[in-house]
Amino acid sequence: MKKLLAGILSFSMMSLALAGCGSNDQPKAGGAGGEAKGEPQKLVISTWGFSEDFFRKEVYEPFEKEHNVKIVLEIGNNAERLNKVRQGSSDVDLIYLSDYYAQQGIESGAFEKIDRSRIPNLDQIYDIAKAPLGEEYGPAYTIGQFGIAYNPKLVKTEIKDWKDLWNPELTGKLTLPSITSTTGPMVLDSASAVAGSKEFNEDQAFAKMKEVNKNVVKFYDKTSEYVNMFGQEEIGVGPIMEMYFKDIKAAVPEAVFVQPASGGYAVMNTVNIVKGSKNKALAEDFINYQLSKEVQEKTAKAKIDSPVNKTVQLTEEEAKGVTYGEETVSKLKMLDMKFVNEHSKAWIDRWNREITQ
């Protein structure tokens, strides 16, 4: 049986290199700083569109000025943006995707192979983020943790690990993500582990999901559903991405976020160069810039993206709601996205027959 997990990951500390906009690590496309001449190059970036004002001011504009570039955005969700690129109906140079969708892009030949020698800031990031889908493709620029949140007013038993979600006392208080969501396969994997399997075992996982099903109020598809149910005390516990815990905390101040004792799951967003891009070198410069301490620190302090650059330093307050620090990241588990993509249709079909019937 092929392993679903890449395992618990360990990381080594590396020395600090100069990074950020204007550093020697970033070759300039249009001349140095304010001395750039001529018409700006256009760099088309495909992304989700959240926090667009922040990214325009704090990330895109400094790069535009330094490199004599005009950044144009194409906005949409993972699936629609990837489909557009695969169909060749856009002039996108760089595309941001979750690791699940990026793997699909790789399998369909949608991305260029990157030149890692042009991205020196790779030396500054966690090992898990350097090549999550292979050395030939783009890095993860942020890592989120999928863990568990609970309301201690409604859930009297302390939640410490995934196995605690099977506690009968949680009946009528629990939510879990749908199998069609990004994190659905992670819950299925945790069920296999709770069943006692060291490697992913589909039959054991589904048997364990049938057991917990009676506890579940609803399988959620969107994070907004989770936050609303939690805030209205329709649920008291469930797995959630750490980056959304600030919204939960705003609604329920006593809420607790738990990194499961056996390890949370890493959810990574990647950046790749689209096949046929005429601006490949410039796109690699931007990836290097995205990984710089300067950009990583800005987005982390704004609580928009958790940093992968190990040199970023956050205060305790700044780190709240952010997946931060080697100790936390080293405990994360990572799904094999190729394996997930190969089996997702069969899992969805089986889930619909056995779990949500």
The ranges assigned to domains in the chain are 11-143+268-322, 146-265+337-354
User: In sequence order, which residues have a C-beta less than 8 Å from that of residue 17 and are 6 or more positions away?
Assistant: 25, 120, 121, 123, 124
Mean pLDDT is lowest, of 55-59, 167-171, 285-289, 316-320, for 316-320
Spatial distance between the Cα atoms of 195 and 192, rounded to a whole number of angstroms? 5
pLDDT(63) > 90: yes
- What is the arithmetic mean of pLDDT over 87-91? 86
pLDDT(31) > 90: no
State the pLDDT confidence band at 2, using cuts at 50, 70 and 90.
very low
What single-letter DSSP state applies at residue 329?
H
State the pLDDT confidence band at 356, using cuts at 50, 70 and 90.
confident
pLDDT(1) > 80: no
State the pLDDT confidence band at 37, using cuts at 50, 70 and 90.
low
Report field, pTM of the whole predicted structure over 0.85:
no
> For the packed helices 184-194 and 202-213, what is the interaxial angle rounded to 10 degrees?
100
Q: Give the amino acid at 130.
A: K
| C-alpha angle 219-100-199 in degrees, rounded to nearest 5 | 75
CATH superfamily ID and name for 11-143+268-322: Periplasmic binding protein-like II (3.40.190.10)
Spatial distance between the Cα atoms of 169 and 164, rounded to a whole number of angstroms? 10
Question: Could you tell me which CATH number the domain at 146-265+337-354 has?
Answer: 3.40.190.10
pLDDT in tens, 246-262: 899 999 999 999 999 99
- What is the arithmetic mean of pLDDT over 31-42? 65
